[in-house]
Every structure is written in C-alpha cells, then in structure tokens.
Chains A and B, each alone.
Chain A
Amino acid sequence: MQFGIFTVGDVTTDPTTGRTPSEHERIKNTVAIAKKAEEAGLDVVAVGQHHNPPFVASSPTTTMAYIAAQTERILLSTATTLITTTDPVRIAEDYGTLQHLTDGRMDLMLGRGNTGPVYPWFGKDIRDGIDLAIENYALLNRLWREDVVDWQGRFRTPLQGFTSTPRPLDGVPPFVWHGSIRSPEIAEQAAFYGDGFFSNHIFWPASHTAQMVELYRRRFEHYGHGTAEEAIVGLGGQVFMRKNSQDAVREFRPYFDNAPVYGHGPSLEEFTAETPLTVGSPQEVIEKTLGFRDYVGDYQRQLFLLDHAGLPLKTVLEQLDLLGEEVVPVLRKEFAALKPAHVPDAPTHVSLVAAAERVETAVTT
C-alpha cells in the first residue's frame, strides 16, 4: 500500500499570527514539504492545479519536475489535474515529458474543478463539467496509446494525423486515477477504463465515500478488469497530530475554525465525528485510518492533507516526522497483514511495464 500527502497549494493567513506567506514562499515550501515527505519514508506526493487566488498551484508539471530532480524515490502525482479546462493534448505532452524526465516515477489524478469562473476563463462552461471530463479523457487515453490519432469531438479543434510526443516511456502510458467527491459518473468512468478511483473522502461522511467506492468496484468487475476486490482505490485523509491528543486539539482548533473550506461551520468535534478528519495522537490517527478499510475494502493508496489552512511550514514538517516515524510504519504492517494475496498493489511504471511484457509474451508464444 502507498502512503503519501497531497497539497492544494493554498496561500492562507495563519490565523494565530496573522501572517500570510508570499506566493514565492508557498511554492518553495511545497518543495520543502515534498523533500521532507521522501525523507520521512512516504511513497507519494501529489500537488494541485488551480487557476485562481488564493492558490499558487497553477502549473503542476513544473513543480513536479523540480521536486523529482531533487528526490530519488518518492512518486509524483497530482490532486488534481484539471481534465475539464486543460487541453487534453497539453496534458498528454506535459505529463508525457514528465514521465521521461522522472523515469516513470509519476502518475496523475484527474479532477473537474469546482470554481465556476475558471471554466469560462479557459473557454468552457462548468455545466459541461462531466461531459468535458468524459470526452477529454477519451482523447487523452488515445493520445497515449495510438501513435497517430484522427479525432473529432465537441470541445476542442479536430485532430488529423496527430502524434503526441514524446511517446510514453517504454510504451507504457502513465497510470491515471480519476478523483471525485460526489459524482457517480466519474466512478463509472474509472471503472470503464480499469483506471484507479480516488475518493476525496475528507469533506464528506464515510457513508458517501463507501457508496462511491462500492459503485466503482461493482462496475470495474462489470467491465471485466478483474473482481471488485481487485479494483484500484485511493482515499484522501486529513490529520493533525501531537504526542498528546489534547495538545493536538488545542493547537489545531484555530486553524480548523478559520479554514477556507469548512471554517465557521461545524465544530471541530462534529466534523471529526462526521468525516475522516483526525485531530489527536498518532495512535488515534492509526486507529481511524485502519477503520477506512471497513467501508471501502482493501485499498491501494492513502494520501493525507497536512499543509493547509495557514499552518506554518515548521508545523507541517513536524507532522511529516510524526507520520513517518509513528503512523505509517504501523499502518503499513497492519494493512499488509489484513490484505488478501489477490488484491494488487497500486500500479507503478515498473509493474505496468512488467504487465505489458507478460501480455506481449502471451501473444507471441
């Protein structure tokens, strides 16, 4: 199982000090956090894509390439790549290039984006969100699998004899996750292609996530990619830890109360009870995270959100230490012990190349 972090790249004022980091600082901090994640023994770091303040993360592949150049092992991913407003040809080219530069140490998660005005800024309409995600990915999928593409659709100019370069490394396209909070159509899409499905998980109650993952698993089996248990599932999570539970609650409360997404709404206690958010000791984080398996089954990727709501860099790095030292080693062991042998790990470039070779051998012999 893979463990990692995801960041949305928000510039938020620290409510306890009133200090707002500069964009430059936030971008550099994202790199520092990613490097620390590798040091702490995590497997994945995912960056966001947004095209409006207060977010600085508008160019994920630039950031990913820079991080990849300064790390050895950690896998670079996104949370999310906007499949609606980004030209699928540019996604094919940008992430195709990144795949070569990182020697396959990357994948990507597609999302729609929920900021209305961003769509018209890129010539699109948010009401077409699902249609854009469906058609654009259908094209992206072909661009990475067919050397010459003739294509005509509704949302971009037609392609005649087009070859997206560079061609995928070792002839194997990057692995794709489809991320969603609440759209069953996206679970259906992920299932159709046999791609991964990532449930945002963190803003909604467990019952909803369970329903989304169940649909994806059922349809994954329907489309003949394997049994429902073999489908590739990822989950978001959100934690804040201190050795003593009470210290964690005291320190995190002002950040929670003023957080951009849910601040000034439910209390920390209510939100903790309703959603995956865990504020407490490393042991509490371990227990709650292991509980996710009870309603989504054995899954492949767990990403935590740590660096938001104005938390200072120093605090985020301390969180990564706790995650790496006290939480992830236990989770690895416990999840592995529970997982049946036929449930696969999340695909990586190496495993996808091996799978492609097996298919080729089977065909030629």
Chain B
Amino acid sequence: MTTIAVVSGGLGVPSSTRLLADRLASATADALGEVDLEVIELRPLAHSLADHLLTGFPTGELATAIETIREADGLIVVTPVFSASYSGLFKSFVDVLEPGLLDGKPVLIAATAGTSRHSLVLDHALRPLFSYLHAVVVPTGVFAASEDFGDISSGQLAERIQRAAGELAALVGKVDPTARRRRTVEDEFADPTPFAELLRNASDPGTAAPPTR
C-alpha cells in the first residue's frame, strides 16, 4: 500500500502545525484512496535529535522515524515559523537524514505562523531546502497563519490544502525508481560496489558508472 509520512514540527500541545498536518494528510488520503499515513511528531524526538547531532547515530524512536521516511512513497512536512524560517528542531531532523534518502521523493511543504507576513518562508526556506536534497517538491505549498484558522468564509486555506494534496497524490508512485538516485549506505550493504569498480572510479572518476545499478 502507498505510505505517506507526515512530519509535524509543532511544539505546542495542541499544535496548529499538527492541525494543518492532519488536514493535509486527510486530504491526501482522500485523493489517493487507500493509503497508510505515518505521523512523525518531532517534539518527542527533540532529545534524540540533539544526541544524534553529537554522536552521529540515531537511537530508538528517531531511528524508527528515519526508517519511516526511507520507506515512504511521499512526505508531508509541516514546520512552525521561528525567526523568519523553519524551526531549529525541524531543520535538525532534516539534517540527520542521510544524503540520497530523499532523492526523487515527492514532498508537500507546509508551514504555520502567527502572522501571514511569514508566508514566503515556504518559497524562500522550505522549497530550496528540499530542492537541495533532490526531493520533488509539489508546486503548491500550504501556509496557515493563526488568522486562517478563523476564516472559514473565504475557504482559501481549504482550497489550497485540496490542491496541494491533489498534486502530491498525482506525483506519488510516478517517480521512476530506476532514475538516477544516489547510493546510500543501506544500498552498499545490500549490494556492495565490487572492488574493481571502486578502484576504477577512484583513479578515474570520469568513468564512474551511474549511481544506481
């Protein structure tokens, strides 16, 4: 079954970030039909994230969360805006994902803030971040300021959620798995690059074979 991982970086309980994440998840589920939603709340992972930054390896629930990201067919990521950007906790989670892990993965980006003046955080912070990680970011990002939760009449937030969810659903399962994807440590364990190839690539990187065999 299709799996969508939903990452929520909200710190409050209850959290408007989680509220937005749930609405995006539900709209995506509606668009996809049968889907397995895996929610990753970052708040309980805060200590493990700090430990990972210092030790270099994930423990317990954080290790499980990273595996969930690896296995997911698509991601919904939602962060609160702190000081004009994604929160430090959110970025720390992204920082511990191995290079290559998000290659070609469809990602729906979303953010919440106290004021709509922060809305460009989607295109000035989140989109470049996920582009750098070689993820496929859906065209519509969803931003919700506090005031949006009280404005039902215009229906704008609901409409954007619907559109973004539809775009994510359209991309999930469409990314060619044989397309160039960087090899991760997991790939090397499963199917090690033979030494002759390592030696050839070491001395002449120009002859390097495509990263996925």
Instruction: Point out residues on A near B: beta carbons under 8 Å.
Output: 130-132, 134-135, 138, 153-154, 181-185, 187-189, 191-192, 203-205, 208, 211, 215, 219, 223, 261-266, 270-271, 274
Contacts and interface: CB of A to CB of B under 8 A. Distances in A.
Nearest to A186: B198
Contacts of A204: 56-57
Contacts of B189: 184, 211, 215
Interface string B63-90: 0000000000000000000000000000
A131 B205 contact: yes
A205 B59 CA distance: 8
B170 interface: no
Contacts of A189: 195, 198
Interface string B167-210: 00000000000000000010011001111001101111100000
B203 A265 contact: no
B202 A135 contact: yes
A153 B203 CA distance: 6
A182 B57 CA distance: 10
Contacts of A135: 199, 202-203
Contact of A265 (B50, B194, B198, B199): B50
B interface secondary structure, majority? helix
A153 to B, nearest CB: 5
Contacts of A205: 57, 59
For the complex of A and B, 3 pairs with smallest distance between CB atoms: A265-B54, A184-B188, A192-B195
Contacts of A208: 57
A85 to B, nearest CB: 15
Given A135-B203, A203-B57, A270 B51 contact: yes
A183 B184 CA distance: 10
B57 A185 contact: no
**Interface-centre pick from B56, B195, B198, B202 (highest chain A CB count, 10 A):** B202
Contacts of A154: 202-205
Contacts of A181: 56
Given A185-B193, A265-B55, A266-B51, A138 B185 contact: no
A262 B55 contact: yes
Contacts of A263: 54
Given A130-B198, A131-B202, A185-B193, A264 B54 contact: yes
Nearest to A181: B56
Contacts of B195: 188-189, 191-192, 223
B57 A134 contact: no
B51 A265 contact: yes
B203 A203 contact: no
Contacts of B57: 203-205, 208, 274
A184 B190 CA distance: 10
A189 B202 CA distance: 12
B192 A184 contact: yes
A261 B51 CA distance: 11
Contacts of B188: 184-185, 188, 215
Contacts of A131: 201-203, 205
A298 B202 CA distance: 32
Contact of B55 (A187, A191, A203, A219): A203
B84 to A, nearest CB: 28
18 contacts: A134-B199, A135-B202, A154-B203, A184-B185, A184-B192, A185-B193, A188-B198, A205-B59, A208-B57, A211-B189, A215-B192, A219-B192, A261-B54, A262-B55, A265-B50, A265-B54, A265-B55, A274-B57
Nearest to B197: A188
Contacts of A183: 185
A347 B55 CA distance: 33
Nearest to A211: B189
A191 B185 CA distance: 17
**Interface-centre pick from A183, A191, A208, A265 (highest chain B CB count, 10 A):** A265
Given A131-B205, A134-B199, A188 B192 contact: yes
A135 B55 CA distance: 29
A266 B55 contact: yes
A203 B52 CA distance: 11
B202 A262 contact: no
B49 to A, nearest CB: 11
Contacts of A192: 195
B92 to A, nearest CB: 13
Nearest to A215: B189
A274 B59 contact: yes
A132 B205 CA distance: 12
B185 A262 contact: no
Contacts of A261: 54-55
